[in-house]
């Protein structure tokens, strides 16, 4: 005769079991308990150091307007191996299924003689397991004294992690205050981040 544990529904032998069957039942119980403990260890490891990546660039660079991902040159934080700037400096790879907080920030030059534009940032998520998803939250602001700033953020759902699941950041010009504008935004600082919030 067998019983089951109250919370995990694991089968264990009772006094009515045959002595021959008891050994197999105990071995099976130990294997299942061990698997549950391994899963709990993995969850604890993630909760202690959640997947998180931040990339940025602080050098002046004229970057295109439109759906053209911007590159980054520095990794500030990467607990998930999500940034490989040598392979592709434009993306953060999302390495785990679940909900992700994605964000970005950029500042454009307002120095004397520079081209000044207002722009909006856009975050996009490519998840080949479920098709391309555009997760956009856009925001832009003009500060006549200090320059132009934009930020964006969103919570993205990643259902399936496959090769090529990543986020990128780009910008769209919304206004031009200089007739010499050539389609490039003089960006002096930009940052993008991805932070895993939890399971689906």
pLDDT of residue 76: 97
Q: Measured between alpha carbons, how far is 92 from 88 in angstroms, rounded to an integer?
A: 9
pLDDT of residue 25: 73
pLDDT of residue 136: 54
pLDDT of residue 112: 47
pLDDT of residue 133: 56
Please write the tens of the pLDDT for every residue from 3-26.
777 777 777 777 665 666 666 777
CA dist list (Å): 90 to 34, 69, 191, 192: 41, 6, 11, 10
Confidence tier at 165 by pLDDT (50, 70, 90): confident
Q: Measured between alpha carbons, how far is 170 from 165 in angstroms, rounded to an integer?
A: 17
Q: Provide DSSP, 15-36.
A: TTS-HHHHHHHHHHHHHHHHHH
Q: Measured between alpha carbons, how far is 36 from 130 in angstroms, rounded to an integer?
A: 29
Of 119 and 79, the structure prediction assigns the larger pLDDT to 79
- Answer yes or no: are the C-beta atoms of 116 and 110 closer than 8 Å: yes
**Of residues 196, 192, 101, the one with CA closest to residue 154:** 101
CB atoms within 10 A of CB 112: 5
Of 114 and 118, the structure prediction assigns the larger pLDDT to 118
- Residue 197: is its pLDDT beyond 70? yes
pLDDT of residue 20: 63
The counts of H helices and E strands in the chain are 1, 13
The mean per-residue pLDDT over the stretch 103-119 comes to 70
Please write the tens of the pLDDT for every residue from 78-91.
999 999 999 999 99
Of 200 and 137, the structure prediction assigns the larger pLDDT to 200
Q: What single-letter DSSP state applies at residue 71?
A: P
Q: Measured between alpha carbons, how far is 180 from 97 in angstroms, rounded to an integer?
A: 45
Query: pTM here?
Result: 0.70
- Answer yes or no: are the C-beta atoms of 193 and 135 closer than 8 Å: no
- Answer yes or no: are the C-beta atoms of 38 and 15 closer than 8 Å: no
pLDDT of residue 147: 60
Q: Which domains does the chain have, with CATH numbers?
A: 2-47 (no CATH), 51-198 (2.60.120.40)
The mean per-residue pLDDT over the stretch 26-50 comes to 77
């Amino acid at each position: 005769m067998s019983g089951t544990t109250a919370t995990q529904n694991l089968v264990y032998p009772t006094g009515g079991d045959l002595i021959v069957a008891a050994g197999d039942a105990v071995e099976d119980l130990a294997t299942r308990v061990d698997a549950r403990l391994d899963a709990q260890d993995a969850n604890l490891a993630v909760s202690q150091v959640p997947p998180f990546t931040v990339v940025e660039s602080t050098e002046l660079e004229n970057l295109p307007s439109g759906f053209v991902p911007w590159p980054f040159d520095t990794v500030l934080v990467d607990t998930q191996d999500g940034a490989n700037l040598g392979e592709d400096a434009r993306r953060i790879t999302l390495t785990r299924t679940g909900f992700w907080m994605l964000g970005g920030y950029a500042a454009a030059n307002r120095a004397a003689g520079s081209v000044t534009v207002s722009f909006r940032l856009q975050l996009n998520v490519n998840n080949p397991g479920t098709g391309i998803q555009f997760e956009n939250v856009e925001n832009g602001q003009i500060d006549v004294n200090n320059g132009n700033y934009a930020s964006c953020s969103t919570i993205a759902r990643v259902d399936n992690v496959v090769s090529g699941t990543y986020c990128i950041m780009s910008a769209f010009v919304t206004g031009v205050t200089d007739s010499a504008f050539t389609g490039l935004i003089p960006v002096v600082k930009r940052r993008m981040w991805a932070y895993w919030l939890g399971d689906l």
